[in-house]
Amino acid sequence: MTAINLGDAASLQAMAAQGALPQGLALHQQTLQQLLRGNTALGTPALETLSLSARDAINVFGSVDLDTRNPATGNSSLRELVLGAPAIHGFVKACDQDIIYADTLVWDGTQSLSTVLTDGTPQAPGAAMVDRLGHGQLALNTRSLILGRAPYTRPSSEVPANRQVRGFDGVSRRATDQVQFAGKGTLDVYQAQGAYQAGTGWQYSGGALDIQAPLLTGAAGSTLQVRSGGDLRISGAGQPRGHDALGAELGLQARNILIDSAMALASGRLQARADGDVVLGSNARIDLAGRRIRMDDLDKYSWGGDVELTARQGNVLAAAGSSIDVSASNNRAGRITANALGENAGRIDLAGTLRGSATAHCCCARSSFPTSPA
């Protein structure tokens, strides 16, 4: 289908009367509850997995509360909620709060129902109604949030799943267990869409992203680029589970970046680039250390990963209690690079712990900390 429209009946009817409701499926909480309960009289079973797939976008109108939890138990009635669309567009007011509750939420970024091997073209989002993009807040509250491909699909590993959120001043993604990315893809969060410029494309602005989870990690060999027009915060406390998948790469780009949670990117790469400051809070545990891999009766060892922290016009700061680990055993350690070259800033203060040891005659970590001249 073309689009999925989320909103209460009154909001959807008002948009339809204005000729501004895209063609597609209308979904609100009452319809969702009917799907979750099933209908024994008609022999319709209750859902365990719900996939919402659209070619263009999932559109949100007004305040939306899409809740998969059972009111009696407080537990989700769905095992998985899958969003198979390249974009979420918000046509909401500043006072609107849009919340989706699910146990496991998978955002595929493509139409996720097909089991046919896809071609090499990324799915582009549909055009938004630019003059109607809103200023509300979007919250995705889950136990586990996965930015990856939907179950039982056959995507090409070379085709990125590009995800875009527009029309919200703030987007929060909360996971009590972990946030994981898989495959190859992007996540762009912007409030507004501006003019088109030759050579660079559409111009976007605004839109803060807040990720709250005790652990942010990636599947083996996966890559994710996250871009936000406002501030990007990654926070969360707790005891995250160990994660040994190798080679995940995460790129962050925003106005200011705060990392105050655990990241596990074993033998991978983290790149954080901010227009202003890059800050590691006291809960930051950035683990890119090498791992031991057991292969039958043989042990192999991976190398340490690379961390790059860049503040274009601000500072790179790491609080006491934070840690960056690019160490390795029986292989080379990784690299830690901090750049702060702004004319009016340029301070690097790493008060946390840096681990870059290597054993068995391998190279220890390499560090680079250029700053602007005094």
Within a domain: 314: yes
Within a domain: 19: no
User: What pLDDT is recorded for position 124?
Assistant: 79
Query: Tell me: the pLDDT tens digits for 30-39?
Result: 989 888 887 7
Least confident of 71-75, 167-171, 306-310: 71-75
Mean pLDDT, all residues of the chain:
89
For range 23-35, the mean pLDDT: 90
The DSSP bridge partners found for residue 140 are 100, 173
* C-alpha to C-alpha distance for 110 and 53, rounded to whole angstroms: 8
Q: Which residue has the higher pLDDT, 343 or 40?
A: 343
Least confident of 278-287, 299-308, 359-368: 359-368
Give the 3-state DSSP-derived string for 31-100, with helices as H, strands as E and coil as C.
Answer: HHHHHHHCECCCCECCCCEEEEECCCEEEEECCEEEECECCCCCCECCCEEEEECCEEEEECCCCCEEEE
For range 245-274, the mean pLDDT: 98
User: What pLDDT is recorded for position 118?
Assistant: 54
E strand or H helix that includes residue 13: helix 9-17
Query: Tell me: the pLDDT tens digits for 312-322?
Result: 999 999 999 99
Within a domain: 176: yes
Q: Which of these, 278, 290, 285, 275, lies nearest to 335 by C-alpha position? A: 290
Please say if the pLDDT value at position 360 is more than 80: no
Please say if the pLDDT value at position 119 is more than 60: no
Q: Which residue has the higher pLDDT, 283 or 157?
A: 283
pLDDT band at 374 (very low <50, low <70, confident <90, very high): very low
Residue indicated by tokens 């043989």: 298
Given a contact cutoff of 8 angstroms between Cβ atoms, the answer to whether 266 and 291 are in contact is yes
Residue indicated by tokens 């683990």: 287
Tokens of 125: 């989002």
**What is the total count of domains within the chain?**
1
Within a domain: 348: yes
Please say if the pLDDT value at position 40 is more than 80: no
User: Which segment, 5-19, 75-89, 97-111, 309-323, is predicted with the most confidence on average?
Assistant: 309-323
Look at residue 17 and give its three-state secondary structure: helix
Phi-psi region of 28 (alpha: psi -120 to 50; beta: other; left: phi over 0): beta
Within a domain: 7: no
Percent of the chain having pLDDT more than 70? 92
pLDDT band at 43 (very low <50, low <70, confident <90, very high): confident
Within a domain: 22: no
Given a contact cutoff of 8 angstroms between Cβ atoms, the answer to whether 167 and 133 are in contact is yes
Within a domain: 250: yes
Least confident of 98-102, 114-118, 174-178: 114-118
On whether the pTM is more than 0.85, the answer is yes
Tokens of 7: 């909103």
Domain with 236, as residue range(s), is: 63-368
Query: Tell me: the pLDDT tens digits for 175-228?
Result: 999 999 999 999 999 999 998 888 888 899 999 999 999 999 999 999 999 999
Within a domain: 109: yes
User: What pLDDT is recorded for position 39?
Assistant: 75
